[in-house]
Amino acid sequence: MPQLRNPNLTPPTGWRFFEARTGLNIESDNLWSLVDKVIAHRQQRGLQPTERLVVRNEIESQICARLGNECRKSNPEDKWEPVSDVSAAIGASEVLAFTKFLIAWFTQGGGYADKDETLRRRAICSTCPLNNPMKGCSCGPLYSLLAKLVPSDRQFSDLHVCGICGCSLKLKCSSPAEAVIKSDEGRNLKYPNHCWVKGLTSK
């Protein structure tokens, strides 16, 4: 299980834990305060585990799913591999991928994925630890443009930015499969097994 190298320092994505069973994002200003908040929430909902060290390990593992060098393996046999911080990943390749996406999207007439399919994708992304709010990035105008492409009935507040591809999940979850595939071409991205995008590219 991955652990933070320095649990006394605030990670780039902040002290945040997503409790998938209740759909709640829990935030605090330090690790142990976050542990206590998660335990209190679970006790209120009758959920387990609530042991402090177990909850701390869960929190560190989830945070490490979003980070790179700030984490280390607690066991050499762990299969976990660090990923880059999403705010540091936005660069030329993401702009190029977005351009490819726009070309493919407009070529297809600017349509959207079926609403049921969008909701299926949302259910997967909203509980994924790689679904991160964008922080510390100069790409605000780009994401504002992306948001304008999403219909009002698909502006889901629990979808942010993918820590693997750097794409707006609000837009990606609503996009036609062909456009999603086109936007990832040539990027050698490694999505986790539970990801719906991996399902598209493996067909």
Please tell me whether residues 12 and 58 are part of one structural domain.
yes
In a domain, 135, yes or no: yes
pLDDT 10s digits, 107-140: 778 889 999 999 999 989 987 877 877 655 555 6
In a domain, 79, yes or no: no
Please tell me whether residues 96 and 66 are part of one structural domain.
no
78 or 41: which leads in pLDDT: 41
Residue ranges making up the domain that contains 154: 86-201
pLDDT at 88: 47
In a domain, 81, yes or no: no
Average pLDDT over residues 21-29: 83
Please tell me whether residues 60 and 97 are part of one structural domain.
no
What is the total count of domains within the chain?
Answer: 2
User: Three-state SS string across the chain, please?
Assistant: CEEECCCCCCCCCCEEEEECCCCEEEEECCHHHHHHHHHHHHHHHCCCCCCHHHHHHHHHHHHHCCCCCCEEECCCCCCCCCCCCHHHHCCHHHHHHHHHHHHHHHHCCCCCCCHHHHHHHHHHHHCCCCEECCCCCCCHHHHHHHHHCCCHHHCCCCCCEECCCCCEHHHHHCCCHHHHHHHCCCCCCCCCCCCHHHHHHCC
pLDDT band with cut points at 50, 70 and 90 for residue 198: confident
pLDDT at 39: 97
Please tell me whether residues 30 and 112 are part of one structural domain.
no
* Single pTM value for the model: 0.59
pLDDT 10s digits, 48-97: 999 999 999 989 888 887 666 667 777 766 665 555 444 444 555 666 67
In a domain, 9, yes or no: yes
Q: Is the pLDDT of residue 185 over 60?
A: yes
In a domain, 137, yes or no: yes
pLDDT 10s digits, 132-148: 776 555 556 666 777 77
Please tell me whether residues 157 and 108 are part of one structural domain.
yes
pLDDT at 28: 93
Tell me the average pLDDT of the chain. 80
Average pLDDT over residues 28-57: 95
Please tell me whether residues 53 and 102 are part of one structural domain.
no
